[in-house]
Amino acid sequence: MAPTRTASLRMRLAADQIEVVLRSPRRLPDWNPLFVKVDGPETPAVGDLYDLRTRFGGRGTIAYTELGPGRVEMQWRVRGLVEHAEWLVERVGSATEVTHRFRREGPLAALIGERDRGIAADRLRRLDAYTRGALTRMLDGTP
């Protein structure tokens, strides 16, 4: 089994603003360049399957496995790869700390090997930039 990758980042946003983005499956391709398209309902429920297309042409599914306060877990799968991802969101003083963990299984995980070492931190930086930009657009009234 591949190792669990973990990173944390303090963001200058409210926890609920971050969670709204994490709980918006159709927005995932806006800040995760691996995903090209996610089709399904706008509001997720645990266990709902969403159709997924990836940048490398893979098709599969993504599902939320937990949607608790301060915690979002999901699993996505394409042929040869399953990823279990977790996001923990916690207010710390005037900032919000977000911890992201993921673990991959399957033949593609073995091929990827150590090349996924910085992905958790990259995802957090993109989530932070996207969430700040989305909030600014919402406040400005721009799409």
Task: For 56-69, write each residue's pLDDT tens digit.
Answer: 888 999 999 999 99
Total number of domains in the chain: 1
**Among the listed residues 129, 115, 37, the one whose alpha carbon sits nearest the alpha carbon of residue 76:** 37
Range of the domain at 52: 5-140
Predicted confidence band at 29 (pLDDT cuts at 50, 70, 90)?
very high
Q: In the block, which residue shows the tokens 């877990």?
A: 73
Can you give the pLDDT at residue 90? 96
Can you give the pLDDT at residue 10? 96
* Cα 99 from Cα 72, distance rounded (Å): 11
Task: For 8-22, write each residue's pLDDT tens digit.
Answer: 999 999 999 899 999
What backbone torsions phi and psi does residue 94 show, to the nearest 5 degrees? Answer: -90, 5
Looking up residue 121, the CATH number of its domain turns out to be: 3.30.530.20
Can you give the pLDDT at residue 58? 87
DSSP string over 83-142: EEEEEEEEEETTEEEEEEEEEEESHHHHHHGGGGTTHHHHHHHHHHHHHHHHHHHHHHT-
Which pTM was predicted? 0.87
What backbone torsions phi and psi does residue 58 show, to the nearest 5 degrees? Answer: -75, 145
- Under 8 Å CB-to-CB from 121, ≥6 apart: which residues? 7, 9
